[in-house]
Chain A
Amino acid sequence: MSAIRRRHPALTAGKYAALAFYLLFALFPLYWLLKIAITPDALIFSEGTRLFPSDVTFTNFSTVIFQTDFLAYFGNSLIVSLGTAFLTTMFAAGAGYAFSRFVFKGKRIIIAVMLITQMFPLLMIIAPIYKIVADLGLLNSLTSLIIVYTAFNIPFATFLMQSFFDGIPKDLEDAAMMDGCTRFQALRKVVFPLTLPGLGATLGFVFTAAWSELLFALMLISKNDAMTFPVGLLTFVSKFSVDWGQMMAAGVLALVPSCLFFIFIQRYLVQGLTSGAVKG
């Protein structure tokens, strides 16, 4: 990289300044969340805006975990997110495989419809969905959330899975079929083992999306014992708007599963975001 070596020292300094800026901008809010969470209650007001707390405590975490409903919210969110992730990945794998491998009538229309579902405001259907779910008597049930989230995430996950299937040569399945497999056997023995990383990435993306969904959960869930984490945290915030330490401790806890999945799917971010293109 001769170009870099010849660079002007001022340019190099500017580059590192830019790197530092991005790093600070990305991490500072999260740092602050953590900082307030571990600051003892007594110190929050006296040194609320200091960069480092003079004392550290974990009581906020234990209070949140053991004395509030957060474990229940956490469990609900886990059920909803995992359920959504598994169902979506399964269905999207099927659809993505069909898009990747078959030429059939109606393919373009189905792809177009899926793309459109990514464009229109999902809030448009919040009222009809509420009515339908209410008429079915499924308000306050995690099942209804899983079904709704699965449908929302299928288009994006399908395009993602399709891009993974496209990366597996069609010859491999043909060879497997020549070797005596049915198409389904070829899928199971040859294609699926090769697309495991893709399945994992899709699971991660969908999990993250379901974990952070707020508005539909707010609409469909009102009973405390069925609340997901975002709904629970928001209710908590509006009820106890002065318990800063506890709220932020809860926030830090909400961050943990997302970050775990993030580390896992980081490698596939580019592929995921470019194939989905519209999903954030």
Chain B
Amino acid sequence: MIDRTTENVMPGATRARRSLYLQYLVEPFLYLSPAIILIGAVMMVPLIIGVSYSFQAIDLLRPFDSGWVGLENYAELWGDRKFWLALENTAFWTFWSITFQFLLGLGLAMLLNTQFYGKKLFQALVFLPWAVPTFLSALTWAWLFNPVIGPLPHWLAALGLLSEPYNILGDPALAMWGPITANIWFGVPFFAITLLAALQSIPGELFEAAEVDGATPWQTFTKITLPFLAPMIAITVMLRTIWIANFADLIFVMTGGGPANSTQILSTYIFTTAFRKLDFGYASTIAVALLLILLIYAVILLWLRKKLVKI
């Protein structure tokens, strides 16, 4: 930001006229330029380069075997069994994460919207998981699922859910539930906070009016609370779905996509392809595919929302 106090304008001078008009035109961009330049250089330009990579062979392990290959990467993607498996896993991971996060978040928000002793402290403590760095959440839950030092396998076995206390992260049939649990733990506060904000914006008179009209608590919930929350729920769920579908940290740390790719989702597949295999061309191809899928999802949702809002 630049201090313009030194610029002295004289009444009637043409310089003054130009400078004032220029000022109105240029001023916002003085404040904006650092942000624009950084976003352009670090996000938009690499985004375009990334798309161009998907049409090239760029493999750091085979530096002499690079160049434009047209749609070859996409053809390979179409026939890649791992890609389709990852797509399926992405849907599974996203759906169950968002469902539990939402339901538990809604419950927490409703609780926090009532009065009880020690509410402030309670709120601070239950929101704490949000502040835990994701890699640490991942490690913590990985350890909790480890039968050597973690109690969870033993509890699950005692409940009869597991035949014996073993690590579910090593079981292809169950491994995905590990990262999903961690994700729920980490994501409930987010939903609770947004829904709580929405809940608190419902005028209290409405509940009083409903009570006067003889509504039961359940009726109040379904006829007043939910309709009021609906727009907020729709937008939060939509944005959160995209965010979770992209969210690779937990899975990467907890299972690395294994065992046998049973927890590989698209974003971890991108990362491992780029990071482990250094095959940038193919990683970018998967990324473009993921972007397209998310775009289609967003368009469908926006269209649905438009349809529903009319009613």
- Indicate yes or no for A touching B, C-beta below 8 A: yes
- Flag A150-193 by CB within 8 Å of B: 1 or 0 each: 11101100100000000000000000000000111101000000
Chain A residues with CB under 8 Å of B234's CB are none
Task: Check: A138 CB closer than 8 A to any chain B CB.
Answer: no
B275 touching A219, Cβ below 8 Å:
yes
Contact with B along A95-115 (1 / 0, CB 8 A): 101100010100100100110
Q: How far is the CA of A126 from the CA of B4 in the complex (A)?
A: 40
Check if B148 sits within 8 Å of A48, measured CB to CB.
Answer: yes
- Shortest CB-to-CB span from B209 to chain A, Å, is 13
Are A218 and B275 touching (Cβ within 8 A)? yes
Task: Check A123–B271 contact: CB distance below 8 A.
Answer: yes
**How many cross-chain pairs have Cβ atoms below 8 Å apart between A and B?**
281
Complexed CA–CA distance, A102 and B287 (Å)? 36
B144-170, CB < 8 A from A: 144, 148-151, 154
* The residue from A4, A94, A274 contacting B31, defined by CB atoms under 8 A apart: A94
**Does A9 belong to the interface (CB within 8 Å)?**
no
Classify the secondary structure of A's interface with B: helix
B130 touches A212 (CB 8 A): no
Q: Does A38 contact B (CB under 8 A)?
A: no
Q: A94-B31, A128-B53, A212-B134 are in contact. Are A26 and B38 (CB under 8 A)?
A: no
Chain B residue nearest to A107 in the complex (CB): B28
Cβ–Cβ contact A94 & B140, under 8 A = no
For A18, what are the chain B residues with a Cβ–Cβ distance below 8 Å?
Answer: 107, 111
Inter-chain CA distance A22–B188, complex, in Å, is 10
Q: Are A147 and B239 in contact (CB under 8 A)?
A: no
A248 at interface by CB-CB < 8 Å: yes
Nearest neighbor of B2 in chain A, beta-carbon distance: A184
- Also in contact, A212 and B133, with CB within 8 A (given A1-B115, A128-B50, A150-B38): yes
State which of B29, B38, B151 has its C-beta within 8 Å of the C-beta of A151.
B38
A278 interface contact, C-beta 8 A: yes
| B71 CB within 8 Å of chain A | no
Docked Cα-Cα span, A132 to B280, in Å, equals 13
A273 beta carbon closer than 8 Å to chain B: yes
Contact flag A185-B5 (CB < 8 Å), given A30-B132, A94-B31, A120-B291: yes
Q: List 27 A-B contacts (CB under 8 A).
A: A32-B144, A36-B149, A48-B148, A98-B32, A104-B29, A121-B294, A123-B267, A125-B46, A150-B42, A151-B41, A151-B43, A182-B5, A184-B1, A184-B3, A208-B131, A211-B133, A215-B248, A230-B135, A230-B136, A233-B139, A244-B143, A247-B143, A255-B133, A258-B132, A269-B130, A273-B193, A274-B193
For the complex of A and B, 5 pairs with smallest distance between CB atoms: A212-B133, A151-B42, A262-B131, A128-B46, A127-B280
Binding site for A on B (CB under 8 A): 1-5, 25, 27-32, 34-36, 38-39, 41-47, 49-50, 53, 58, 104, 107-108, 111, 114-116, 122, 124-137, 139-141, 143-144, 148-151, 154, 185-190, 193-194, 196-197, 207, 211, 235-236, 239-240, 242-243, 245-249, 252-253, 267, 270-271, 274-275, 280, 283-284, 287-288, 290-291, 294, 298
Contacts A152-B43, A214-B134, A277-B235 known; 17 new A-B pairs at CB < 8 A: A19-B122, A30-B128, A33-B140, A44-B149, A110-B36, A117-B44, A119-B239, A126-B275, A127-B283, A129-B46, A130-B280, A219-B275, A229-B133, A233-B135, A244-B143, A262-B128, A274-B194
